[in-house]
Each structure stands twice: as structure tokens, then as C-alpha cells.
Amino acid sequence: MAKYLLLKHYRGAPASVNDVPMDQWTPEELTAHVQYMRDFAARLESTGEFVEHQPLSPEGTFVRSDGEGRPPVTDGPFAETKDLIAGWTVIDVDSYERALELAAELSAAPGAGGKPIHEWLELRPFLTPPPTITE
């Protein structure tokens, strides 16, 4: 068995053949789409091929270690995905600030000459079920 990551794109992928933004669909079409995804996951579970799926929020932040002090943060650059995704680490932290801190730490991993790489990492929050109290 080999594991694969099936990555769904908000942007950057070539345009779909049927390229209509979701808010232009009908509510019925949306329901059918969500159901299809759910059935797909259920089918994979029944065949023993399901590992996990996690939806990501469309908003990402690039973080880089800058040595001392706070990590700089930017909205870009949005590289091509085949360059962008080298793997992922999932963290579960108390705050966005802590996530930035850890991302910066990871960004400072040693590279050539034993010096930190200071590479850009993309930080993407998971979407979760809603809290019990919303109103």
C-alpha cells in the first residue's frame, strides 16, 4: 500500500472544464456535490483505502524565520503547487501566534553549511465543526 495526498485547490490549478464558482450553483447542486464527497469518503472507508481528510481554509499565511524577534508574515508568494507541497505537519495549538512561532521555528531548520534555511512555509488553518453555541 502507498499513501497519496489528494489535494483540492482553491486556486493555482488549471481551470476546471465546468468552471463555475460555487456561489453561482443552485442550492440543490451544492447539496448534491457535498453528498458526492461524503459518499466518496464512505466508499473508500468500506474498501479500506481511507486514511484521513481535512478541509483547509482558503486563507493561508506565509511565514519565515528572520532570526531574532517576530517572524515576518506575507500573503504571498503563491508558488505553483508542485513546488509548494513538500509534505505537511499538523499541529494543534492554543493560538495563531503560537502557530506562527512554530512555523518560524520549522522554517529555521538547518541547511547548507549548517545555517538555517529560512524557507517560506505556508500556514493553513483546518476547518472544523462549529462550536455548540453560535448565536
Partner 1 sequence: MDEALLRTLTPTVIGVLVRRGADFAAAEDAVQDGLVEALRVWPDAPPRDPRGWLVTVAWRKFLDAARADTSRRHREVRVEEEPPPGTGEMVDDTLQLYFLCAHPSLTPASAVALTLRAVGGLTTRQIAQAYLVPEATMAQRISRAKRTVSGVRFTQPGDVATVLRVLYLVFNEGYSGEVDLAAEAIRLTRQLAVRTHHEEVAGLLALMLLHHARRPARTGPDGTLVPLAEQDRGLWNTRLIAEGVDVLQAALARDRLGEFQAQAAIAALHADARTAAETDWVQIVEWYDELVRLTDSPVVRLNRAVAVGEADGARAGLAALAALDPALPRHTAVAAYLHERDGDPVTAARLYADAARSAPNLPERDHLTRQAARLNAQLRS
- Interaction site with partner 1 (CB under 8 A): 21-27, 29-31, 34-35, 38, 55, 57-59, 92-94, 127-135
Q: Closest Cα to residue 56, out of 31, 30, 81, 35?
A: 81
131 three-class SS: coil
Which is closer to partner 1, CB of 47 or CB of 132? 132
Which is closer to partner 1, CB of 44 or CB of 111? 44
Which is closer to partner 1, CB of 25 or CB of 88? 25
φ and ψ at 36, to 5 degrees? -60, -45
Which is closer to partner 1, CB of 14 or CB of 130? 130
User: Least separation, in Å, of the C-beta of 100 and partner 1?
Assistant: 16
User: Least separation, in Å, of the C-beta of 106 and partner 1?
Assistant: 17
User: Least separation, in Å, of the C-beta of 133 and partner 1?
Assistant: 5
User: Least separation, in Å, of the C-beta of 17 and partner 1?
Assistant: 20
* Measured distance CA(38)–CA(36) in Å, rounded: 5
The CA-atom distances, in angstroms, between 53 and each of 5, 61, 63 are: 9, 21, 24
CB distance 61 to 123 below 8 Å = yes
